[in-house]
Amino acid sequence: MTVLAILTTSLLCALPSPSEVRADLDAYPWRPAPAPAVQDTDSKRPTKETVTTAPAPPPAPATASSTKPSPTPTPAPAASTGGTWAIQLVAISNADAARSEQKRLEKIVGGTVDLVVEPPMNKLRWGNFATKEEAEAAKAALKAKSVDGYVVRR
């Protein structure tokens, strides 16, 4: 057997088996394949927007005066601005994967997880803390729930 054949065989034996790859993918479902880059051609679009999951208000009862559309649209509820610190749980380039991960994380942490869109990334952030120390304490509590993240400034 030649040296090249020995090296090739040893390299192929070192690769993970398909079952090991599947187990790794099942263990880390929040890491989808990277999405293709999209060229932003609309320069008027804001570069940063915050999307929160808030329940829609119930529809108003229909009356003769309320059948006309309102002259000004009501703004969407903004994220609470009480604190300046949050915990970033994950950043994903795929928007659909970010929304599904947001739902999964909301079940685990028991609260609202904010989806912050900063192209090309979709960042999932949790909490609203006045001090960095409060955020670090909450991060430790999340670690006990097997959720990792890091403290960021809003």
For 105-114, write each residue's pLDDT tens digit.
999 998 899 9
Radius of gyration over alpha carbons of the chain, in Å?
A: 23
Contact 90, 32 (CB under 8 A): no
Distance CA 142, CA 151 (A): 12
Q: pLDDT by residue (tens digit) across 40-61?
A: 555 555 445 555 554 555 555 5
Hunting for tokens 């430790």 — which residue is that? 140
Strand, coil or helix: 144: helix
Chain CA centroid to CA 119, Å:
13
- Higher-confidence residue of 48 and 140: namely 140
Distance CA 128, CA 136 (A): 12
Strand ranges for 1-149 from DSSP E: 49-51, 85-92, 113-118, 121-129
Of 9-18, 30-39, 139-148, which gets the smallest average pLDDT? 30-39
